C-alpha cells in the first residue's frame, strides 16, 4: 500500500506480504482501500463500501492490518529482543501471555519477540485456512468468522501497545513515528467502526485511543 510504504528489513519476524483473499472480491476491495487511503481520509477509508459484504470487507482488511503490523514490527526486531523485552508487556500493569488453544492450551509467559513470533505464525495459519478465509469466489464464511477476526485484532493491538510503551523512543530516533501513528490511527478507526476490540483491552494506551476517536 502506497501510504504505508516502509523500507523492509530482512528480519526473521518480518514475513512476506500476504495478498488479499483472491477468490473473493479481494482485489476489487483492495483497490477501494488503496484509493480511499490515498485521499488521506482514514475515517472514510474504514467504512463498509455501499453494497459490499461485511465479511469480505473484514477479510481484506484483516490481511492489510496483518501486513502493516508485520512491517512496523520488522523495523524493531534488532531492538525488541528477549534481553530487552523478557515479557510481552505494555507498561508495568499489562502483561500478555501466549496460548493458541491448540498447540499451547495453557497461557505461557514468553518474551515479546517470542510472543510476536507465535502471534504472526498463528494469524498466518488463520489466513491460509480455506475454511476460515475462503479463497474461492462465493465460498461461504464460517459462522464464527467475526469471532476469529476479533481475536486477530485484539492480539494485533497488543503489538501496538508494546511498541508504544517499550519502543516509542526508538521509533522516534528512526524517524518513523508519523508512520506508526498513521498506521495505528487507521487500525483504531477500523476496529471502532466494527466494534472488534472490547474497550477494556484498550486500557494500556487508552488516552491515545481516545484522542484518535474524538471527532475532529
pLDDT-derived band at 193 (thresholds 50, 70, 90) equals very high
Q: Does 125 have pLDDT greater than 80?
A: yes
End-to-end CA distance of the chain: 25
Beta-bridge partners for 108: 98
Q: Does 96 have pLDDT greater than 70?
A: yes
- What average pLDDT score do residues 77-106 get? 94
Contact criterion met (CB below 8 Å) for 53 and 46 = no
Q: Does 61 have pLDDT greater than 60?
A: yes
pLDDT > 90: percent of the chain:
67
What pLDDT is attached to residue 5? 35
User: What is the rounded CA–CA span in Å between residue 45 and residue 188?
Assistant: 12
pTM of the model: 0.85
pLDDT-derived band at 44 (thresholds 50, 70, 90) equals confident
pLDDT-derived band at 45 (thresholds 50, 70, 90) equals confident
Nearest to 179 by CA among 158, 195, 163, 199: 163
Higher pLDDT, 1 or 169: 169
In terms of phi and psi (left: phi > 0; alpha: psi -120 to 50; beta: otherwise), the region of 42 is alpha
Higher pLDDT, 160 or 40: 160
User: What is the rounded CA–CA span in Å between residue 183 and residue 188?
Assistant: 9
What pLDDT is attached to residue 37? 53
What pLDDT is attached to residue 138? 77
pLDDT tens, residue by residue, 106-124: 999 999 999 999 999 999 9
- What average pLDDT score do residues 166-190 get? 92
What pLDDT is attached to residue 106? 94
What pLDDT is attached to residue 4? 34
Least confident of 16-20, 74-78, 89-93, 149-153: 16-20
Amino acid at each position: 500500500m502506497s501510504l504505508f510504504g516502509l523500507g523492509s528489513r530482512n528480519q526473521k519476524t518480518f514475513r512476506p506480504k500476504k495478498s488479499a483473499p483472491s477468490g473473493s472480491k479481494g482485489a476489487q476491495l483492495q483497490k477501494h482501500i488503496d484509493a480511499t487511503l490515498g485521499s488521506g481520509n482514514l475515517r472514510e477509508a474504514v467504512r463498509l463500501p455501499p453494497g459490499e459484504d461485511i465479511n469480505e470487507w473484514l477479510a481484506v482488511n484483516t490481511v492489510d492490518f496483518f501486513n502493516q503490523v508485520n512491517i512496523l514490527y520488522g523495523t524493531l526486531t534488532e531492538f525488541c529482543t528477549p534481553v530487552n523485552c523478557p515479557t510481552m508487556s505494555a507498561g508495568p500493569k499489562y502483561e500478555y501471555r501466549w496460548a493458541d488453544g491448540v498447540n499451547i492450551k495453557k497461557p505461557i509467559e514468553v518474551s515479546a519477540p517470542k510472543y510476536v513470533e507465535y502471534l504472526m505464525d498463528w494469524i498466518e495459519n488463520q489466513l491460509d485456512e480455506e475454511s476460515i478465509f475462503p479463497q474461492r469466489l462465493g465460498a461461504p464464511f464460517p459462522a464464527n468468522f467475526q469471532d476469529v477476526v476479533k481475536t486477530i485484532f485484539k492480539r494485533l493491538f497488543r503489538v501496538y501497545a508494546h511498541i508504544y510503551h517499550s519502543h516509542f523512543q526508538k521509533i522516534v530516533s528512526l524517524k518513523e513515528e508519523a508512520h506508526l501513528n498513521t498506521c495505528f490511527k487507521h487500525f483504531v478507526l477500523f476496529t471502532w467502526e466494527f466494534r472488534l476490540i472490547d474497550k477494556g483491552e484498550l486500557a494500556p494506551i487508552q488516552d491515545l485511543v481516545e484522542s484518535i476517536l474524538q471527532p475532529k
